[in-house]
């Protein structure tokens, strides 16, 4: 599965404002690494980050596991708001 699509599906299932979700992949200097940038509305930030960052870490774990199954690349996910 496409890692960007997987990340977007997970994040959209957590937020209230689904139209404000933007997930994009950016190139990195290291070809064994993928950078995914997640932009959400400010009101949904708490839902996606979770208490003590547990939701964000769970998203990173799921996407990283999917990467290991297909591409075997390290995934970095940055979560920010508009």
What CATH number does the domain containing 52 carry? 3.30.300.20
Nearest to 7 by CA among 22, 19, 17, 29: 22
Q: Is the pLDDT of residue 21 over 70?
A: yes
Domain coverage including residue 24: 3-81
Mean pLDDT of the chain: 95
Task: State the average pLDDT over residues 49-67.
Answer: 96
Q: Is the pLDDT of residue 75 over 90?
A: yes
As for how many domains the chain has, the answer is 1
Task: State the average pLDDT over residues 38-61.
Answer: 96
Long-range contacts of 27-35 (CB under 8 A, 24+ apart): 28/76, 30/74, 32/73, 32/74, 33/73, 33/74, 33/75, 33/76, 34/3, 34/67, 34/71, 34/73, 34/74, 34/75, 34/76, 35/76, 35/78
Q: What percent of the chain has pLDDT over 70?
A: 99
């Amino acid at each position: 599965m496409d890692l960007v699509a997987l990340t977007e599906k997970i994040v959209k299932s957590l937020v209230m404002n689904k139209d404000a979700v933007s997930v994009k992949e950016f190139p990195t200097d290291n070809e064994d690494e993928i950078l995914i940038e997640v932009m959400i509305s400010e009101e949904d930030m708490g839902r996606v980050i979770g208490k003590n960052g547990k939701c964000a870490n769970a998203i990173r774990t799921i996407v990283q596991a999917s990467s290991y199954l297909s591409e075997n690349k390290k995934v970095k996910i940055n979560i920010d708001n508009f």
